[in-house]
Amino acid sequence: MVDNLARKIDNAPKAEIEISEAPVKWCSVSLAEMVERGKRLEASVFDVEARQAWDLINNNKYPITSLGGANGLTTSYTCGRFKRIWVKKSEYPIYQPSSVVDLKPTPDGYISKKTKVDIDSLRVHKGQILLTCSGTIGKVSLVSKTLDNAIFSHDLLRIDCKNPVDVGYIYTYLKSKIGSQILITNKYGAVITHIESEHLDTVPIPNAPDSIKAKINDLIMKSYDLRDESNALIDQAQALLVKELNLPPISEIKVDTLDKSKSVQTFNVKLSEMAGRADASYHVPIVDAIVDILKKNAAEVTTVGDERISSDVVLPGRFKRVYVDEGYGTVLFGGKQMYELDPSNKKFLSKSKHDERIINELEIQENTTLISRSGTIGKVCLVPKHWQNWVASEHIIRVVPANNDVAGYISTFLSSDYGYELIKRFTYGSVVDEIDDNHVRQIQIPILKNQNIQKQINDLALQANENRYKAYLLEQEALKMLDEEVIYAE
């Protein structure tokens, strides 16, 4: 009986064991620390990676100094709070801290010169390192030509390096995985919820030799020079577009309203022009005025869905995501990260769970134009080479160009003030704004009379995209050098 039972057990079908794509994280915790944390036993209370980061830095081969303090490598400050007086337009555009990581930041609005604050004290200056210190803390950027002298709100830490060779080195350290974990946690792994200047006094950093610092600094400076050049190329492309189409500034375009004395716009819409939409936002006069100018000055006004413009417009379906750790899946980013060179807060999709969907719907390809479709409508960017085969979320619509002869031109027009108005008109939804792929196909886009000018615009946009790819490679090289020659050096 026992023998027969044993045979049955041996012959039983083996249960399939699914091995996790991500490794198990573990650390040891002292009893005293457990009691100090309120006798909590959940692993989430003790950040394993942060604790390991602190141990790694404190046991580094190079002497340890601090980021701030009297003997530290930097000085830093934040500006005092103030009540803003917003105006429609002024000589004082102001930026939000969250935009510091954008490649080409746009101001959040304009403040009046009557605002009770020393406006010049809010300006940032070339060579400063900027750090978000509340909300999403730890986002880091370097002030280059693009942001030099720009006005930022008070809630941003401005860091000045005592030694110029430290600028790129400290930026890279704060950008690195280990450095960012050190910055936003204490030595026990608890997350810091707000950063003040004094916090940098307790942040350790290996004081590497100047020869290593100089190499890293040089890579970062070259990276930011390329970002500035890419922005200049985009500005040049936009200027060519505006000149060729004879487009006035968006604020100066005259619109046809019934009663110009009223603060609320009122206008007529013919029944034949309703297009099945009864919402006023679809029929705003500014759109008709822009289209009229385009028709007068372009060879033709077509739509994004035209096969000469795009080969496809893709809106992926919604799906339940399975995330894994870095190195075990495909990079995923959302609409908030579209303007960044290397999207922050990236997540990683399981390849085994989403392989078919990733290949068929989600992967993005170089020179595709991305358009945010929900929440914030109308953010536009051109996919750089290093995003190839990454995954953009289903909240982003992909416009696949018909060919590379129009890829840069599509992005240039849609990212202009005029393209934004033509995108925004399709917005629907009472709580969360939305557009879909059918709307994007209907967006009007001009074909220029002068094909040489159109080619110049296209080539400038593609060159800007190439510069951003090179800038990314240089920053990655700096991060690799920091890891190999400083953080993990033996």
Q: How far apart are alpha carbons 409 and 224 in whole angstroms? A: 24
Q: Do residue 293 and residue 432 come from a single domain? A: yes
Q: How far apart are alpha carbons 203 and 481 in whole angstroms? A: 21
* pLDDT at position 261: 60
CB 419 within 8 A of CB 376: no
pTM metric for this prediction: 0.88
182-196: b (≥16 Cβ within 10 Å) or e: bbbbbeebeebeebe
**pLDDT per residue as tens, the chain (490 positions):** 445 544 444 454 444 434 445 556 677 777 877 787 677 776 656 677 788 888 899 899 999 999 999 999 999 999 888 888 999 889 999 999 989 999 999 999 999 999 999 999 999 999 999 999 887 888 999 999 999 999 998 889 999 999 999 999 999 999 999 999 899 886 666 677 788 899 999 999 999 999 999 999 999 999 999 999 999 999 999 999 999 999 999 888 877 665 556 666 676 777 766 777 767 777 778 888 999 999 999 999 999 999 999 999 999 988 788 888 888 888 999 999 999 999 988 888 888 888 778 877 889 999 999 999 988 899 999 999 999 999 999 999 999 999 999 999 999 999 999 999 999 999 987 777 899 999 999 999 999 999 999 999 999 999 999 999 999 999 999 999 999 999 999 8
Q: Do residue 197 and residue 285 come from a single domain? A: no
* Total number of residues shown for the chain: 490
Q: Do residue 161 and residue 112 come from a single domain? A: yes
Q: How far apart are alpha carbons 373 and 375 in whole angstroms? A: 7
Q: Do residue 176 and residue 270 come from a single domain? A: no
Residue 279 domain-assigned (yes or no)? yes
Longest dimension (CA), the chain: 100
Residue 141 C-alpha from the chain's centroid? 12
Which residues lie closer than 8 Å to 471 by C-beta, 6 or more apart? 223, 224, 226, 227, 230, 341
Work out how many domains the chain is built from and give that number: 2
Residue 272 domain-assigned (yes or no)? yes
Residue 89 domain-assigned (yes or no)? yes
Residue 179: its H or E element: helix 177-184
Range of the domain at 64: 42-207
Distances (CA, A) of 330 to 180, 227, 335, 368: 22, 25, 17, 18
* Phi/psi-derived region of residue 301, left when phi > 0, alpha when psi is between -120 and 50, beta in every other case: beta
Residue 15 domain-assigned (yes or no)? no
Q: Do residue 288 and residue 179 come from a single domain? A: no
Which residues lie closer than 8 Å to 174 by C-beta, 6 or more apart? 129, 131, 138, 140, 180, 183
Q: How far apart are alpha carbons 165 and 322 in whole angstroms? A: 42
* pLDDT at position 262: 61
Q: Do residue 296 and residue 186 come from a single domain? A: no
* pLDDT at position 12: 46
* pLDDT at position 19: 42
* pLDDT at position 48: 77
Residue 262 C-alpha from the chain's centroid? 39
Q: Do residue 97 and residue 145 come from a single domain? A: yes
What end-to-end distance do the CA atoms of the chain give, in Å?
Answer: 62
Residue 340 domain-assigned (yes or no)? yes
CB 304 within 8 A of CB 402: no
Q: Do residue 120 and residue 266 come from a single domain? A: no
Domain boundary among 155, 182, 207: 207
* pLDDT at position 106: 92
| Residue 167 three-state SS | helix
Q: Do residue 110 and residue 189 come from a single domain? A: yes
Q: Do residue 341 and residue 192 come from a single domain? A: no
Any idea what the CATH number is for the domain that residue 359 is in? 3.90.220.20
Query: Residue 114's CB: how many other CB atoms inside 10 A?
Result: 8
Residue 238 domain-assigned (yes or no)? no
Q: Do residue 184 and residue 258 come from a single domain? A: no
Q: Do residue 134 and residue 251 come from a single domain? A: no
* pLDDT at position 254: 79
Residue 217 domain-assigned (yes or no)? no
Question: DSSP of 417-469, one letter per residue?
Answer: HHHHHHHHTT-B-SSS-B--HHHHHH-EEEE-S-HHHHHHHHHHHHHHHHHHH
Domain boundary among 156, 184, 207: 207
Please report the sign of the dihedral spanned by the C-alpha atoms of residue 314, residue 319, residue 321, residue 327.
Answer: negative
* pLDDT at position 55: 87
Residue 24 domain-assigned (yes or no)? no
Surface-to-core class of residue 263, CB atoms within 10 Å of its CB (0-12 exposed, 13-18 middle, 19+ buried): exposed
Domain boundary among 154, 181, 207: 207
- State residue 76 phi and psi, 5-degree precision: -150, 165
